[in-house]
Structure 1
Amino acid sequence: MEAIKILKIDRLDISAISHLVESSQNEGFRHMARLVNEYRMGINTFSQEGEVLFVVVYQEEYIGICGLNREVSVNEGIGRIRRLYVKPEYRNKGIGKELIKAVIKEGKPYFKRLVLKTDNEKAYAFYKTLGFNETDGMENQSHYIDL
Structure 2
Amino acid sequence: MVKFIPLNLDLHKSHFIQLNEEYLIWIAGEMQRRYNIDMVSLLGISVQNYVEKTLKEISSYFPPEGIYYIIQKNSFTIGMGALRTIKSGIGEIKRMYIRPEYRGNGYGKEILEILLQKGKEFEFSSIRLDTGKFMVAAQQVYRLAGFQERGQYLESEVPKFFLPHWLFMEKII
Q: TM-score range by the shorter chain?
A: 0.7 to 0.9
Residue 114 (str. 1) matches residue 138 (str. 2): no
SS at match of 1:28: helix
CA distance in 2, matches of 1:105, 1:126: 16
Deviation at 1:86, TM superposition (A): 0.5
2:78 is matched with which residue?
63
Q: Normalization by structure 2: what TM-score?
A: 0.69
Tell me how far apart the structure 2 counterparts of residues 96 and 106 of structure 1 sit (CA, whole Å): 15
Consecutive aligned runs of 4 or more in structure 1 exceeding 4 Å deviation: 32-36
> Which amino acid counterpart does residue 6 of structure 1 have in structure 2?
F
Q: Distance in 2 between matches of 1:5 and 1:47?
A: 18
| Cα offsets for 1:40-88 (capped at 9, x unmatched) | xx3331136231111110121111100111014xxx1000101111000
Structure exhibiting the larger radius of gyration computed from Cα positions: 2
Alpha-carbon distance between aligned partners in 2 of 1:36 and 1:98, rounded to the nearest angstrom: 28
Q: Which runs of 5+ in 1 are unaligned?
A: none
Q: How many residues align?
A: 138
CA separation of 1:109 and 1:20: change in aligned 2, threshold 3 A = closer
* Structure 1 stretch displaced more, 7-16 or 78-87: 7-16
Note if contact 1:50-1:107 (Cα within 8 Å) is conserved in structure 2.
no
The alignment's C-alpha RMSD in Å is 2.4
Alignment correspondent of 1:88 = 100
CA contact (8 A) 1:68 1:103 kept: yes
| 2:92 aligned with 1:77 | no
2:53 corresponding residue in structure 1:
37
- Please, what TM-score do these two structures have when normalized by structure 1? 0.79
Q: Which runs of 5+ in 2 are unaligned?
A: 29-38, 40-46, 157-166
Verify: 1:27 aligned to 2:41, yes or no. no
- What secondary structure does 1:49 align onto? coil
Separation of aligned partners in 1, 2:22 and 2:75: 17
Rounded to whole Å, the distance in 1 between the matches of 2:117 and 2:64 is 15
Identity score, percent: 23
Alignment-derived partner of residue 117 in structure 2: 105
